[in-house]
Structure 1
Amino acid sequence: MTSRFLTSLATALLLTSCSGVASGGASVKPGTCVAGAKISQSEAGLEQTSLCIISEAKTHAFTVEIASTPPQQAKGLMFRTELADDRGMVFPFGEKRMASFWMKNTVIPLDIIFIREDGRIENIAANTIPYSTIPVESTGPVTAVLELRGGLSAERGIKPGDKVSWTSE
């Protein structure tokens, strides 16, 4: 077998077992989501990783793009016309701060999830309004933000206080 085939096979298995692809982004068994699993670059050229949200007895698995640089964070999910239920984008800040986002040039509604330093969800701005320039803000200092399809948090029962992890540490 070729190296390219083995890499593709490993990626497919990883996506199926860790990112919720097989389950449409729905809940997975506890322990089956492995946060921080490296995944090939997205179509937009961003690094991707697996992300887990633990909500009561349920674990929700996602494949997320990492917007790590200021230009990547400024663009975010602007101009995208769809976002699958098992996909999202995470914005790590590196330091604790109040965060403010807007929806200018963002075509689809998003759930904007603000994440504290301890990995817990501070607050969720649900179903944000496409193209709005009204700031969407954290209610306290955060070290990251996660964007998912609008309404998905409520559908999955994801709420403030739930634990979010996207690194292997």
Structure 2
Amino acid sequence: MADFKVELADTPEKMSRGLMYRTTLPMDQGMLFVMAPPRIATFWMHNTFVPLDMIFIRLNGEIESIVTREDTLSQERTRSQKPVAYVLEINAGQSAALGIKPGHFIRLQSGRGAGGGS
């Protein structure tokens, strides 16, 4: 079990900016993108200086896939394989270090952030 304090990206403006221009991301923090309605999510590393794990999450909280992006500032796009309701961005490699994998479930708690684990 891992706990993260997350910033919500739940408006078009917040989703567009994401974690751009940040030079650090504390290990216990991340950004949670809310896809309403659930859809194929597309992300890139444009103006993003921090390597990231992108965790694609279904509406029921199940992790659909995880993509590690260490290619900061890249224009290459990453897409979810299926429609997702959320995307959690955390520091690159953190998913593997914590044992977070596709098929695990994420629990969202208002005021406390997102917790990930098996």
Question: 1:165 Cα shift?
Answer: 1.8
Aligned positions, number: 110
- Residue of structure 2 in register with 1:143 after alignment: 85
Superposition deviation, residue 118 in structure 1? 0.9
Q: Which has the larger radius of gyration?
A: 1
User: Is 1:87 aligned to residue 38 of structure 2?
Assistant: no
1:134 equivalent in alignment to 2:68: no
What is the root-mean-square deviation of aligned Cα atoms in Å?
Answer: 1.0
Matched, 1:110 2:28: no
CA distance change for structure 1 residues 155 and 127 in 2, over 3 Å: closer, same or farther?
A: farther
Superposition map of 1:153-164 within 5 A:
153-164=95-106
Give how far 1:93 is off.
Answer: 1.3
Q: Deviating runs (4+, > 3 A) in structure 1?
A: none
Q: 1:167, CA displacement in angstroms?
A: 3.4
**In structure 2, what is the Cα distance between the partners aligned to 1:144 and 1:83?**
19
The answer to which structure, 1 or 2, has the higher relative contact order (CA under 8 A, 6+ apart) is 2
Q: Unmatched 5+ residue regions in structure 2?
A: 111-118
Question: What is the CA distance between 1:160 and its match in structure 2?
Answer: 0.3
CA distance in 1 between counterparts of 2:58 and 2:70 reads 20
Contact 1:107 1:131 in 2 (8 A): yes
Q: CA offset at residue 139 of structure 1?
A: 1.0
Is 1:152 matched with 2:98?
A: no
TM-score normalised per structure 2: 0.89
Q: Is the 8 A contact 1:122 1:161 kept in 2?
A: yes
Q: Greater share of helix residues, 1 or 2?
A: 1
Separation of aligned partners in 1, 2:68 and 2:88 = 12
Equivalence map 1:12-161=2 (5 Å) = 59-161=1-103
Q: CA deviation at 1:132?
A: 0.6
**Inter-CA distance 116–140: structure 2 relative to 1 (3 Å threshold):** same
Q: Equivalent pairs: percent with the same residue?
A: 45
Q: Which amino acid aligns with 2:101?
A: K
Q: Which runs of 5+ in 1 are unaligned?
A: 1-58
CA deviations over 1:21-56 (Å, ceiling 9, x no partner): xxxxxxxxxxxxxxxxxxxxxxxxxxxxxxxxxxxx
